[in-house]
Structure 1
Amino acid sequence: MNYRMIKKISLGALSMLLLVSCGKEQSGGRGQAPPQEYKTKVLNKENAGLEKVYPATIKGQEDIEIRPRIDGFIEQIFVDEGSIVRKGQALFRINSPQMKQALLTAKANVASAEASLNTAQLNVAKTIPLAEKEIVSQYQLEMVKNSLSSAQAMKDQANAALQNAVESEKWTTVTSPVDGLVGSIPSRLGSLVNSQNILTTVANTSQVFVYFSLNEKDMIDFITNAEGSTQLEKIKQMPDVSLILANGKQYEHKGRIETIAGNINTQTGSASLRATFPNQEGLLRSGGSGKIVIPSFIDDALIIPQKATFSQQNKILTYCVQADSVVQTLIEVEPTPDGQSYVVTKGLKVGDVIVIEGLASLKNNMKIKVQ
């Protein structure tokens, strides 16, 4: 009884093993799934426009710090912050007791010098007839004449000091050296100020200077690729540049690059450039910020969609089709202004085929079917 039961169980187990084995053989006999189809692109030469964007600082064409030339207290303020002023317009009046005292002293010195000159003239007039009659010696006559010359020199010196005091007294009124806009006024009525204090700034912003920097590599490429044989010629032939304002909108007027610094800043490793923009509407203010956009144009460029790339360890790669498989290919690119494509600068050539859709499901050396 037990023997028959064991025999039945053994035969049942063997039958199950045979069925499983047959199932695997039948499954294996069906083969692998066919390669998946992917959309691709054959690379050809195209013309492309690129843009380089750099942070920038805006300064007035003339951006002048206004300081008093004398020590004193602010007695009057004739303008307000943001006012439009003209060259020579009064901005502040400084109450300077020292200047008043210096002017009074200079006037007194002139009066004293005039009295001394008159006395010397009288002495000469009195001594000449006495010398002619030989009552006094020629030596005494020369002495009084020398005294007259000295008195005249003292008078001239006193007059010069008076003129200087008069001109210095004018410094009590602080005027604008240029047409422009008044900046902030940190000091108020009654404040004690001297030449170390900035009363305000006046910025001529009819045109503005926009400063930006390029690192050494970008600077070399920028100069090398520009047309012209000298730096001056290259600057003249550079394309117009655009300005993106702090609110993200593009300034309506174009600007021109006018200067390139002659040295590289050793601390930042960059060189400064200056572009000039018109500002008749007064929208741009000195001290503002923005971004300079420099356009460039490339003939015979290789353009690929950004969606045909992926990043890995801060590097850009794409899948290049070789025969019936794909291979991960490292490339160097520049983004196009539309934000949808790349211009390939290294890693691909004309005629290469790349996958442009479905990259997430691909692996290196994976077999595919080209659509």
Structure 2
Amino acid sequence: MKRSHYFYFVIGLLVLQACKQQPQQQAPVALPYPVISIPTKTVIAHNIYPASVEGTNNSSVRAKVPGYITQVQVDEGQKVRKGQVLFKLETQSLSQDAEAAKANINAAQVEVDKLIPLVEKNIISSVQLETAKAKLAQAKSGYSSIAANIGYATIKSPIDGYVGSIPFREGALVSPSDPQPLTTVSTTEDVYVFFALNEKDYLNFLKTTKGTTRDEKVKNFPEVELELATGTIYDQKGKIETVTGQINKTTGTVTFRAKFPNPNGLLANGSSGAIRIPKTYENTLVVPESATYEQQGIVYAYKVQGDTLAISIPIGVLDRVDGLVVLDSGLKKGDHIVGSGVGKLRNNTPIVPQMVEFDSIANGLKTVFK
């Protein structure tokens, strides 16, 4: 054997021996994972929409005659009764006009009284008496108009309710043409809550509500909840009373009005919040959020196959409610899936299943979410 060939032969033997000494790649070690059986449950989801609160009756208080405010007799937020005095305007010039109007009435009455016996004696024509009577009536009308304006200078509440903001104070000149009212009195024993649905949500809402006509569906609308600005849920439920039934061309939405009782006065005119409309899924398949993961917009779960192998399965999601995923497709009742720790798994990974109760996983999630 030539020397060069012998050299390569020796090198090949060394490489072969080194390969034999390399450790064989070990199969992945099966680790224990909690496994649950998929149940059916009835769960309630909520569709949430921004909302605004208004009193059931909001009455703007305006001046009927021009004048300077001399007294503001209420404060913002004060409860008032119908007819209660809110503002008083300066009436000095009106009082002077009223005195002059009274004098005109007296003068016209004297003229009528003087002419009556003359007409009875046929000394003068009755036309003169009728003319004098007309002047008397005109004088009385003028006085009544001035007296009414004096009455208008005392501005009273048109309804029972609560006083809103008061932008005008003593000394301010106000008139009927002012764009801003003196205040607004609101009735808030009950309140209206307004919210809007886009066209798609509106049609789906009608479709899933019992009834053949829109009026029947409105009557069958479920009670709704109000989420306050603090994030808490108002302790009274409301009822949807009206729907415009017309789509706003600018916003593409349909306006709803719900009515809520307000016994403690917690809800004020102008408040904001969010309406929560319940959506019930009866006897539906659910899995815990911890049993799912997402890749490229597709949601997956690990189904246990043959008791030892975790297989990645795409699932259809209808909704997510309090840490639960409402299923649309991909799994069926009784299937076994990995309940948590799915982030450490890969498709076709061997595991050691440890059967646990569904609620032990689901309730644990609710505690975390709270």
Is TM-score (shorter-chain normalized) higher than 0.5?
yes
1:70 and 2:65 equivalent? yes
1:52 and 2:47 equivalent? yes
1:291-320 CA distances to partner (integer Å, 9 max, x unpaired)?
Answer: 22222322232212112233456x451236
Instruction: Describe how 1:93-172 pairs up with structure 2 within 5 A.
Output: 93-96=88-91, 99-118=94-113, 121=116, 124-125=119-120, 128=122, 144-172=125-153
Shift of 1:74: 0.8
Shift of 1:157: 3.1
Structure 2 unaligned blocks of 5 or more = 354-370
Q: Residues 35 and 367 of structure 1 are in contact (CA less than 8 Å); yes or no, is this contact kept in structure 2?
A: no
1:226 and 2:224 equivalent? no
1:167-211 CA distances to partner (integer Å, 9 max, x unpaired)?
Answer: 221011111111111122222211111221422221111111122
Give percent identity, aligned residues only. 32
CA 122–218 in structure 1, closer or farther in 2 if over 3 Å, else same: same
Q: Residues 70 and 171 of structure 1 are in contact (CA less than 8 Å); yes or no, is this contact kept in structure 2?
A: yes
1:108-148 CA distances to partner (integer Å, 9 max, x unpaired)?
Answer: 4434543554465466345x2x6xxxxxxxxxx7xx33343
Correspondence for 1:237: 220
Shift of 1:164: 2.5
CA 109–350 in structure 1, closer or farther in 2 if over 3 Å, else same: farther
Q: Residues 196 and 253 of structure 2 are in contact (CA less than 8 Å); yes or no, is this contact kept in structure 1?
A: yes
1:319 and 2:304 equivalent? no
- TM-score normalised over the length of structure 2: 0.79
Correspondence for 1:187: 168
Question: Which of 194, 200, 204 is matched with 2:187 structurally?
Answer: 204
Secondary structure, counterpart of 2:150 in structure 1: helix
Q: State how far apart, in whole Å, the 1-side matches of 2:174 and 2:14 are.
A: 106
1:66-89 CA distances to partner (integer Å, 9 max, x unpaired)?
Answer: 211111111011112221111100
Correspondence for 2:17: 19
Q: State how far apart, in whole Å, the 2-side matches of 1:111 and 1:262 are.
A: 62
Q: Residues 93 and 174 of structure 1 are in contact (CA less than 8 Å); yes or no, is this contact kept in structure 2?
A: yes
Task: Flag the structure with larger Rg.
Answer: 1
Count residues with an aligned counterpart.
345
Correspondence for 1:88: 83
Q: State how far apart, in whole Å, the 2-side matches of 1:226 and 1:187 are.
A: 48
Shift of 1:276: 1.5
CA 316–259 in structure 1, closer or farther in 2 if over 3 Å, else same: farther
1:35-90 CA distances to partner (integer Å, 9 max, x unpaired)?
Answer: 77765555454322222222221211222222111111110111122211111000
Q: Residues 183 and 201 of structure 1 are in contact (CA less than 8 Å); yes or no, is this contact kept in structure 2?
A: yes
Q: Residues 50 and 275 of structure 2 are in contact (CA less than 8 Å); yes or no, is this contact kept in structure 1?
A: yes
Secondary structure, counterpart of 2:130 in structure 1: helix
- TM-score normalised over the length of structure 1: 0.79
Q: State how far apart, in whole Å, the 1-side matches of 2:181 and 2:32 are.
A: 72
Question: Which of 236, 243, 246 is matched with 2:229 structurally?
Answer: 246
CA 192–45 in structure 1, closer or farther in 2 if over 3 Å, else same: same
Q: Residues 34 and 338 of structure 2 are in contact (CA less than 8 Å); yes or no, is this contact kept in structure 1?
A: yes
CA 36–115 in structure 1, closer or farther in 2 if over 3 Å, else same: same
Q: CA RMSD in A?
A: 3.3
Q: Residues 291 and 302 of structure 2 are in contact (CA less than 8 Å); yes or no, is this contact kept in structure 1?
A: no
Correspondence for 1:176: 157
Structure 1 unaligned blocks of 5 or more = 131-140
Q: Residues 28 and 350 of structure 2 are in contact (CA less than 8 Å); yes or no, is this contact kept in structure 1?
A: no
Correspondence for 1:138: none
Secondary structure, counterpart of 1:240 in structure 2: coil
Shift of 1:102: 4.5
